[in-house]
Chains A and B, each alone.
Chain A
Amino acid sequence: MNSEVMFYLLAGMILIFSVLTVTSRKILRAAVYLLFVLISTAAIYFMLEYTFLAAVQLTVYAGGIVVLIIFSILLTSHISERAVMADRKQGVLSALAVGAGALLTLITIMQFAFTPSLEPAQNSTVTDVGNALISYNRNGFALPFEVISILLLAALIGAIIVARKEKDAISK
């Protein structure tokens, strides 16, 4: 009973703030609404008892990406600037396309018979997650972990190279 009330509260928050994120005219407010959506998602992960994933969601998404987005908003647009939306025809057409896609997906979801598994759940404490990330056995994820490390390094260097000022541009 309690968890159901909590779930519907979170679901309502996610839907309302997602809509506000894509429709708000003030960009900074849209970023804060996105923050609320991400925090509600973390709460859903807590409900599903994946606590490590929820903590990662809070630190990386809510703590990292949203701060990055807010900083770049402050760098690139004036605080009172109102975002330009697509013209009316494009808005109606994309709403139609999105509505049709959502309807199709929802009908498919409701028609498919999911059979929830009754097997005991695997623990997902920090120890289990850490062991799985560095083991290369059947249930290990060492290769994706290494690949993601290299991707993060490449993204780090690439972001610095792209965003820095060029030397001759400074001397000019």
Chain B
Amino acid sequence: MTGTIPIQAFLIISTLMFFIGIYGFLTRKNLITMLMSIELILNSVNINFVVFNRYLYPQNLQGHFFSLIIIAIAAAEAAVAIAIIINIYRNFKSIDVDNVDEMKF
């Protein structure tokens, strides 16, 4: 299915996606949008693992299982993060990082 597409094409896509995610993490103020940026970063890493597995070590499935486990960890992380965010909203009536500075020293 991959035909003549070089491995670099996939790596460029995942690199750009990773750095777009980091840009979002640095510039967003809302906790949920920051969580969405983290999902972008995790997703780009998944693409990397899968592409390396398919192109460089097709006789094994290590990268495939790494991605599978990262997806599970991302689901767990999203659930805990959203529970924390909802708790913060209950206490501060806002989820902007600027307003949540109670523990700032």
Residues of A within 8 A of B (CB): 1, 3-4, 7, 11, 14-15, 18-19, 21-23, 27, 30-31, 34, 37-38, 41, 44-50, 53, 56-57, 60-61, 64-65, 68-69, 72-73, 75-77, 83-86, 90-91, 94-95, 97-99, 101-102, 105-106, 109-110, 114-117, 119-122, 124, 128-129, 132-133, 139, 141, 144, 148, 151-152, 154-156, 158-160, 162-163, 165
Closest to A15 in B: B16
> In the bound complex, how far is the Cα of B8 from the Cα of A72, in angstroms?
37
- The secondary-structure label for the interface of chain A is helix
Contact with A along B68-83 (1 / 0, CB 8 A): 1101111111111011
Find out whether the CB atom of A152 lies under 8 angstroms from the CB atom of B76. Answer: yes
Residues of B within 8 A of A (CB): 1-5, 7-13, 15-17, 19-24, 26-30, 32-33, 35-37, 39-40, 43, 46-47, 50-51, 54-61, 64-65, 67-69, 71-80, 82-87, 89-90, 95-96, 98
> In the bound complex, how far is the Cα of B30 from the Cα of A85, in angstroms?
8
Q: How far is the CB of B95 from chain A (nearest CB, A)?
A: 5
Given contacts A102-B15, A110-B8, A163-B83, A148 and B1 within 8 Å (CB-CB): no
Closest to A59 in B: B71
In the complex, what residues of B have CB within 8 A of residue A45's CB? 50
A-B contact list, 24 entries, CB within 8 Å: A1-B3, A22-B20, A22-B27, A50-B50, A57-B46, A72-B85, A75-B86, A76-B89, A83-B29, A84-B98, A94-B22, A94-B27, A102-B15, A109-B8, A114-B7, A114-B56, A116-B7, A117-B57, A117-B59, A119-B58, A124-B61, A129-B68, A141-B65, A159-B79
